[in-house]
Chain A
Amino acid sequence: MDTLFQQIDTCPDLYAIRQLIFVNSAAYAYTEIRVDQHTALFGRNNLGKTSMLNALKLFLLPEENFKMCDRKFGFRSKTGDSYSTQESFNYYFPDQNSFILLEAENLYGPFCILLHQGRKDFSYARIVVPCAYEKIRHLFWDFAADCNEGLGAPIETLSLSSIQKTLHAQGGGQQLKYASVSIRSYASDVEKIRRSLERYVRQNARQRLQYNAIETAFYELLQAAKSLQDGSLKNNVLRSDEPVFQRGQMFSGLRAVRYSSRLEWHGHDQRLYFAEFLRVRVDQLRQQNKVPRVAELDAESEHFERHQQYRKETIRELVRVWVSPDDCNDLHKVLHHYLQQALPDYQLVDLLEAMKWCVAEKSLQLKPVFRQRVIEHEGFELMYYMRALEPAYAS
C-alpha cells in the first residue's frame, strides 16, 4: 500500500475520479456531475443532491446488492432515518434502463465503470470500459435533439443489451468479458484498498508509526526468505547470521529450553530418602525372582560359543530321535513336555530351537492355528501361536 500512497502523493493525477453520470437514475433523466473540479449543486430540499454524491459508495465499496443497505452504505435521510433496501434500489435503479457511470483515470488511462440492474433481487452489476466517457457519451443521451430547449432528448432505443452490443462492436467486448469474470477479484482489491484507507484515516500518528515499523521489518524478513527460494521449497531456512536478524540482537545468545519440568524435592533430605527407598525396593524385587532373569554368560568367550553349538546339536539329535505323534493340535506343548524330560537344564529358549529342527530335520508339515497360548517354565513365559501337526495321511 505504501507504494500506492507514494504514487498518489507524488503524482496526484494518476488516480482520479473525474465525473458521475446518472441515466434514468436518482430522479434524473440524464445528469453529469464533475467531481474532479469545483462544482456547485443548487436545488431545493429533497431533490437528491446528497444522494447523487452518495452513489460514489456504489463504486468504491465491494458490494453487489442493496440488501442490508443501511449497514453497507449508510444511506440516510436528513432526519437520520435510514432508507430501506427497496427504497434505495428503486431510487438508483428504477428500471432496466437505469445506469450510473463513473469516469475515472489510473496509470493506464481513462476508463468508465457502468452500473446497471443485476439479475438477482436488488442486485446491480458492473461493466468496465477502457475508454473516456466522451467516447460512449452518445449512447446514453441524444445531444443533437432540438427539444428540451436544446438540452437534448432521451434515446428511445436505450437498453442494456443495445449498449452491450455497441460496446462489443467498438472493441470493448474483450474488456466486458474480462470485467464480468474479474468482478470478484476487483471486489477483493477494492476491499483491500478500502481497509487500508480506513486504517489510514483511523490511525493516529503513533499507530501509523507502529504499523509502518512492523511492516518494514516484516517485509525485510520476507524478502530475505524469498531470496532463498530456488524453485524448490527444501532447505530454505535462513542462516542465523543473516543481516536481517540484527534487529533481534537483544535476544542474542538466549539459551534453548532444555527441559520443561523437573522433579521437585520438597526438603533437602527427600532425595536421600528416595535413594534409600530405591535401594531397599530393588533388593526386595530381586529376591522375589528365584531365577535371575539375566543369565550371566560371557557371550564372547570361546567356551560359550562351544557350549551353544553343543546344545544345538543335542537338541537336533533329540528332535531327530523323537517320534512325533500322528495327531497333534499344539506342537509347542508336546515338544515342551518331551524336552522337559529328555534335556537336562531345559529352558524355554531350547523349545524354540527344537521347533526349528522339527521343520528342518523332520520336514514336519505345520499348520498355523490362530490361537495364542502361554507356556510357563522356571519363571519365564513363552507366548506363542499354536501350530498343529498335519497328520501323515493328510499329505
Chain B
Amino acid sequence: MQVDQRKSRVLYESLINGQVVNEFIFKDSSLMPNFLYEELISNFDRYYRELYANIGFELVLQQSFAYIRSIEPDETQNDTVRKVLGLLLVLGRGVTELGFQFELLTDPDVGISSEILKQIEQGEDKQEVLAACELKGGLVSNMEKLLGKKNIAFQNAKGNWVLSDAGKAFFAELFDKKMAEVAD
C-alpha cells in the first residue's frame, strides 16, 4: 500500500508530541477505526519503522496502540511510566472499590464522571499514591493533562472519561498476569 503523505505528517505530529496512536478513536459518539493506525500498520515494516529509526526513534507497536521512544534511553525515560501507571491504578482501584464494574471505565457510552473522580481522590490512600507518583493537582486535572493529551483516555459525549485502547491494554495485561498467577 502506498504511503499517504498527509497521514504520515499527521502521524508524525502526533507521535513526536508524545501521543499514542490508538486502533480506535472516539468520533461522532462512537468508536471507529483510526485511519492513522491503519496507515501505520499497513506500512510499518516497509516504511515507518525505518523512517523513525533514521531520526533516532523506536516505533513501538503494542497490541492495539503505537508510540515512539528514543533509541538511546535516558534517565527521564520512565518518568511518564510512573505518572501514567499511578494515575491508571488510582482510577481502577477507585472505580472498583466504589462498587462499579471495571467496564464503566471502558464503555464509551458510560465512562467516569468528574463527580466520581472527585469522590475517588478523597481517599487518603489515593492521595498518597498520587503524591508519590508526582501527580500534583488532583485526579481531575491530571486526567486531562496526562491521559487526555496522550490519548490514553478520552471524553465521551457526556464529558465522562473513558479509557482508550492504550489504557485498556494496560489493564488487560494486569488481568492476564493475575489469571496466570491464579492458574499456577
Q: How many angstroms between the C-alpha atoms of A255 and B102 in the bound complex?
A: 28
Q: Contact at A221–B86, with CB atoms within 8 Å? A: yes
A-contacting 9-mer, from B29-37, B39-47, B67-75, B108-116: B67-75
Interface membership of A258, Cβ < 8 A: yes
Bound state CA distance, A210 and B89, in angstroms? 12
- Alpha-carbon separation in the docked complex, A249 to B60 (Å): 12
Give the nearest-CB partner of A202 in chain B: B99
Chain B CB within 8 A of A250 CB: yes
Of A221, A237, A250, A252, the residue contacting B89 (CB under 8 A) is: A221
Tell me the complex Cα distance, A249–B177, Å. 14
Q: How far is the CA of A167 from the CA of B164 in the complex (A)?
A: 61
CA distance A228 to B133 in the complex (A): 11
Q: Are B132 and A209 neighbours in the complex by a CB distance under 8 Å?
A: no
Contact, CB under 8 Å: A248 / B85: yes
Q: Does the CB pair B69–A255 fall under 8 Å?
A: yes
Q: Is A304 an interface residue (CB 8 A)?
A: no
Q: Contact: A195 with B81, CB < 8 Å? A: no
Asked if B138 is at the interface of the complex by the 8 Å CB criterion, the answer is no
Q: Most chain-B CB neighbours within 10 Å: which of A198, A215, A233, A256?
A: A256
Which residues 157-184 of B have a CB within 8 angstroms of A?
166, 169-171, 173-175, 177-179, 182
Complex Cα distance, B150 from A260, in Å, reads 10
Q: Find out whether the CB atom of B18 lies under 8 angstroms from the CB atom of A251.
A: no
> Could you tell me how many residues of chain A have their Cβ less than 8 Å away from some Cβ of chain B?
43
Q: What's the minimum C-beta distance from A17 to chain B, rounded to whole angstroms?
A: 25
Interface membership of B149, Cβ < 8 A: yes
Interface membership of B2, Cβ < 8 A: no
A257 interfacial contact with B, CB 8 Å: yes
Residues of B within 8 A of A279 (CB): none
Give the complex CA separation of A241 and B70 in angstroms: 17
Complex Cα distance, B124 from A233, in Å, reads: 13
A250 touching B134, Cβ below 8 Å: no
Query: Is A199 located at the chain interface by the 8 A CB criterion?
Result: yes
Beyond A207-B101, A245-B78, whether A254 also contacts B89 by CB under 8 A is no
B77 within 8 A of A: yes
A contact residues around B75 at 8 Å (CB): 240
- Residue in A195, A216, A218 with the greatest tally of chain B CB atoms within 10 Å: A218
Instruction: Judge if B131 is at the interface, Cβ distance under 8 Å.
Output: yes
- Which residues of B lie under 8 Å from residue A215 when comparing CB positions? 93, 96
Known A207-B102, A236-B132, A248-B85: A256·B174 in contact at CB below 8 Å: no
A221 touches B68 (CB 8 A): no
Q: How many residues of B contact A (CB 8 A)?
A: 54
Flag if B85 contacts A253 (CB, 8 Å).
Answer: no
Identify the interface centre among A211, A226, A251, A256: most chain B CB within 10 Å of its CB.
Answer: A251
A211 touches B96 (CB 8 A): yes
**Do the beta carbons of A254 and B20 come within 8 Å of each other?**
yes
| A151 contacts B by Cβ under 8 Å | no
Taking CB atoms, residues of chain B closer than 8 Å to A240 are 75-79, 81-82
Contact A218 to B92, CB < 8 A, known contacts A213-B177, A250-B173: yes
Taken together as a complex, chains A and B put the C-alpha atoms of A259 and B19 apart, in Å, by: 11
Q: Assess whether A218 is in contact with B178, with CB atoms less than 8 Å apart.
A: no
Within 8 Å CB of A256, what residues of B? 18, 76, 79-80
Whether A222 contacts B125 in the complex (CB less than 8 A), given A214-B92, A216-B178, A253-B69, comes out as yes
A255/B17 in contact, CB under 8 A: yes
Contact between A237 and B79, CB atoms less than 8 A apart: no
Q: Does A262 contact B (CB under 8 A)?
A: yes
Name, among B77, B88, B89, B92, the residue most crowded by chain A CB atoms within 10 Å (CB to CB). B89
Query: For residue A255, which residues in chain B have a CB less than 8 angstroms away from its CB?
Result: 16-18, 67-70, 80
B3 at the A/B interface (Cβ < 8 Å)? no
**Beyond A225-B132, A238-B134, A250-B169, 14 additional pairs, beta carbon < 8 A:** A209-B178, A212-B178, A218-B90, A222-B129, A245-B78, A250-B173, A251-B166, A252-B69, A253-B73, A254-B80, A254-B84, A254-B150, A257-B18, A257-B149
User: 27 pairs across A/B with beta carbons < 8 Å?
Assistant: A199-B99, A213-B174, A214-B96, A214-B102, A214-B171, A218-B90, A222-B128, A225-B133, A226-B128, A236-B132, A237-B131, A238-B82, A238-B132, A240-B76, A240-B79, A240-B81, A248-B88, A250-B169, A251-B67, A251-B166, A253-B78, A254-B18, A254-B67, A254-B80, A255-B67, A255-B69, A257-B19
Which residues of A are at the interface with B, using a C-beta cutoff of 8 A? 195, 198-199, 207, 209-218, 221-222, 224-226, 228, 233, 236-238, 240-242, 245, 247-260, 262
List 5 A-B pairs, minimum CB-CB distance, nearest first: A253-B69, A248-B85, A225-B132, A255-B18, A213-B178
